Amino acid sequence: MKCFDLGGKVALVTGGNGGIGLGMSRGLARAGARIMIAGRNAQKNAAAVADLSAIGVDCDSVVADLSRESDARSLAPRTLERFGRLDILVNNAGVPMRKLPQDHTTEDWRLVIDTNLSSAFWTCQSAYSEFRRLGAGKVINVGSHASILGAPFTTAYAASKGGLLQMTKSLACAWGRDNIQVNAILPGYIDTDMAKSARQEVPGTEERVLSRTPAGRWGTLDDCEGIAVFLASPASDFVTGTALLLDGGYAALG
């Protein structure tokens, strides 16, 4: 379908080497986009490039630590060098921090805020001139249930993800007339490495997710494909400044 076609487009996906980022990258690749992924782990990057290349599109990776401003700001220029353009920016890289507020150190706080929130600001700023050159751009910020719901052990994480949601709205307002759409995806419980650690660190997670989620299951990487294609494609050209829950109905249950 033409309105979901990403042929000729280039997407940069932070944290695209696994989990939700890889799921979204697969969707974008299947819709025809070329993909640049960024992550800290070179082996995971190489495995993801092989996975995505098997779909039949040109893909590459950059080793980068998104908690560092210089690394984050280098990604858009490196994507331009490699592919000649940048149409879609997916800010997905993120780390959890499951501690009560009184136990967070300043280092914990800074790591989570820089990795999950500041990095997205840095990549957006550095992609803006290319979006202006193209006369169009798509930004997808990956928030969380923690963008809108409270929990006792997620203070820094919730602050980062709540900030990401508000930043999404602000960027959408600022860049609407530049034909740049900025939206967020708020995942619920998706079965990734991060979810595995949640199961280990938070007793009762497995039972709560299965009993409370109206869909009756965890989300999968396959569930991440279509929503990314929608927000990256012409199908969403009049959708900006909003957030789509990807949670099997979890947040809808009162």
Q: Which of 128, 157, 189, 250 is catalytic?
A: 157
CA distance 135 to 192: 35
What is the amino acid identity at position 241?
A: G
Least Cβ distance, residue 72 to ligand NDP (angstroms): 8
> What's the DSSP call for residue 66?
T
CA distance 185 to 158: 15
Least Cβ distance, residue 2 to ligand NDP (angstroms): 29
Instruction: Choose between 89 and 93: whose C-beta lies nearer to ligand NDP.
Output: 93
Instruction: Choose between 17 and 126: whose C-beta lies nearer to ligand NDP.
Output: 17
CA distance 157 to 189: 15
For residue 11, the surrounding DSSP H or E stretch is strand 10-14
State the residues that interact with ligand NDP by CB under 6 A: 14-15, 17-21, 39-41, 44, 64-67, 92-95, 115-116, 142, 144-145, 187, 189-190, 192-195
CA dihedral (245, 68, 160, 126) in degrees, to 10, reads -60
CA distance 108 to 205: 23
67, 141, 146 from 93: Cα distances, Å: 10, 10, 15
128 is catalytic: no
Q: Do β-strands 137-142 and 180-187 pair in parallel, antiparallel, or remain unpaired?
A: parallel
SS3 163: helix
Angle at 26 between CA 64 and CA 134, to 5 degrees: 70
Least Cβ distance, residue 199 to ligand NDP (angstroms): 10
Least Cβ distance, residue 144 to ligand NDP (angstroms): 3
Give the chain's length: 254
Least Cβ distance, residue 23 to ligand NDP (angstroms): 8
Q: Which residues are catalytic?
A: 157
